[in-house]
Amino acid sequence: MQINFGDIPGQYNLFLDYLYEFDNVKNFYKNDFRNKDGYLKVFKSISETTREFRGDIPKIISSQYEGFSPSEKTLSNINSLKDKNTLAVVTGQQLGILGGPLYTFYKIITSIKLSEHLKERYDAYNFVPVFWLEGDDHDFEEVRSIGLINESNTLTNIFYDDELPDEETRNSVGYMVIKDTINSFFDNLDKNLRDSEFKPDFLKNLKEIYSSGKSFKQAFKELIFRFFDKYGLIIFDPQDVIIKNLLKPVFKREINDFRQHTEKLVKVSATLEELYHAQVKVRPVNLFYSTDEGRFLIEPVENEFRLRRKRKKFTQDEIINAIDMHPENFSPNVLLRPICQDYLLPTAFYIGGPSEVSYFAQITPLYDFYNLNSPFIYPRASATIFEKNLENILEKYNLSLEDIFSNADE
């Protein structure tokens, strides 16, 4: 059963036009994912882009799999990234506990299925699915809970508590270590999760993965690995110190030349606000700096820089020197992250949801500024899983999926 996104309340108009009326939004995007006649031109351009570290990427990714035993298919996909004809079908997500929202898995499945489809259709190229572990993000509230329907048919949120005050500034989620409070999280999950023949093994496996002492990133990677390694999914960790070293040129240029792109980003975002909405607020500098106190946005102040909400100032030379000495302390914001991704990887497609499709409309000036090819932005699969009893109710009362979104008195 299929349903049009336009029949679902609350959808972004920008996203709807991207799906169904692309001519209305074509000025905001480099490529139209529906225009298959344009695929080969983009594939050729990306494959011919010089990447001095192309041969190093497979070695770096392989080293990130220490402690794992990847499948032959995954190993082959990793190794193929050294070849010019290999293109990446990338997706990613913040490190939500137990995998986060179900659409995390839909993104991965879309990436895998699209890679397989493209291999069959364009045999001159190889396509590999890649999952970008978004461990740099520091929004703990966004990753600490899951939602489910309990035995009483009530939507319930189960929260993990890291025992820190809500107002305390936190560092990147990827480095957070799971505490013993995870046991309370699982106790609450057990109480609210419906009984079934699958429940005991399901909880047992999750407890093995999300155990005290592991980092959020380690647990998330293990979960994704268990589900999708056999399909050849490459799990990529951008927090790797070696990767951050490769990103030094991007970080330095963002500090040295941010004024050259900020005006264009603001202009595009203002136009989007007039016609649709701007998904992300534009900042002058698209970089964060991490200290022992947390992760802070870098802000220009006259001829210097400072960390947001901090008094200490840095000269431009001091920031550049910090990038040289400790690039692992720097991380991109939501607008610069795709630039880092496509600087490192030969990305032909990025799989995203409505919010990602929306913010990609803002960042075309950044792709021009960094002289990078923009990938096709491919909407992730979207689904609602209906159990048989719910399907029977719809049939009994002759209800459509659209009716579910209607008000009771309509």
DSSP per-residue string spanning 45-108: HHHTS--TTTTHHHHHHHHHTTT----HHHHHHHHHTTSTTEEEEEEEEE--GGGSSTHHHHHH
Mean pLDDT for the stretch of residues 280-309: 92
Last residue of a domain, one of 332, 348, 380: 332
pLDDT tens column, 104-126? 999 999 999 999 999 999 999 99
pLDDT exceeds 80 at position 100 = yes
Last residue of a domain, one of 332, 360, 385: 332
> Is 369 part of any domain?
no
> Is 210 part of any domain?
yes
Residue where the block lists tokens 């964060």: 288
If pLDDT is split at 50, 70 and 90, which confidence band does 167 have? low
If pLDDT is split at 50, 70 and 90, which confidence band does 166 have? low
pLDDT exceeds 90 at position 10 = no
> Is 28 part of any domain?
no
pLDDT given at position 151:
84
Mean pLDDT for the stretch of residues 158-187: 85
pLDDT given at position 407:
60
Q: Provide CB contacts within 8 A for 396, sequence distance 6+.
A: none
> Is 353 part of any domain?
no
Give the integer Cα–Cα distance in Å for 141 and 121.
Answer: 42
> Is 280 part of any domain?
yes
Domain count, the chain: 2
> Is 385 part of any domain?
no
pTM equals: 0.94
Query: Is residue 401 classed exposed, middle or buried when 0-12, 13-18 and 19+ CB atoms within 10 A define those classes?
Result: middle
Mean pLDDT for the stretch of residues 169-187: 89
> Is 199 part of any domain?
yes
pLDDT tens column, 28-67? 999 999 999 999 999 999 999 988 899 999 999 999 999 9
Task: Tell which wins on pLDDT, 2 or 326.
Answer: 326
Query: What is the domain extent for residue 194?
Result: 142-215
Mean pLDDT for the stretch of residues 96-104: 93
> Is 309 part of any domain?
yes
Last residue of a domain, one of 332, 363, 385: 332
User: Could you give the percent of the chain with pLDDT greater than 90?
Assistant: 78
